[in-house]
Each structure stands twice: as structure tokens, then as C-alpha cells.
Amino acid sequence: MSNNRYVTQEKSALFFFFMVSFVVAVFLFACSKKSGPPPKPTVPVTAGTVIQKTVPVQVRAIGNVEAYSTVAVKSQIGGGTYTCSFQGRRVCK
């Protein structure tokens, strides 16, 4: 009878060892780094020297202006604008 008890304890220890090994293996594979998309290639960057010079504030040129796209503006309420009031001082050149 003691021999049968020893075999049962040995089977229990072996089962426990395999279960612990299985749980450890699952955690190791689940927590491993997942390979994502490959990294983007690096872009070469060049640096220039800094110089100081005056820049005109206003540019005068002759040319045409063309919009990239046009949109239709539609009012959400009916009626007209009778006054246009702003707070502050009048600014003139």
C-alpha cells in the first residue's frame, strides 16, 4: 500500500511540474515583443550656415491670384445685416 501511495505522489508532482512549466511557457510567449511593421528608413538631413540680413516687410508685385478651391457660403438664418459693431480703436495708416 505504501508503494501505491508513492506512485500517486510521484504522479502528482509530475503533473504539478508540467502545469507550472506550461503556465511559465504561456507567459513567456504572451509577454514577448511582437514584431510590428519594419522601421521607416532614415532621411538624410543637411544643415546650413546662419546669416543675418534685412528682409522686406512688404513685397510689391504684379500678378494674378487663383484660389485652390471654391466653396458656396449659405446663411443659416434669413434676413440682412444692418449694423456691424466692433469694440476698440480705429486703426489707420
Q: Within a domain: residue 8?
A: yes
Residue 42 falls within a domain, yes or no? Answer: no
Q: What is the pTM of this model?
A: 0.31
> Strand runs (DSSP E) across 1-93, as ranges?
none
Residue-number span of the structural domain to which 26 is assigned: 1-32
Q: 16 in a domain, yes or no?
A: yes
For residue 91, is it within any domain? Answer: no
Q: Is residue 10 part of a domain?
A: yes
Residue 92 has pLDDT above 70, yes or no: no
Alpha helices, DSSP H only, in 1-46? Answer: 2-30
Number of domains in the chain: 1
For residues 45-70, average pLDDT: 86
* Cβ count near 83 (within 10 Å): 4
70 part of a folded domain: no
Asked if residue 64 belongs to a domain, the reply is no
- How confident is residue 80, by pLDDT bands cut at 50, 70 and 90? confident
- Estimate to the nearest angstrom the gap between the alpha carbon of 58 and the chain centroid: 38
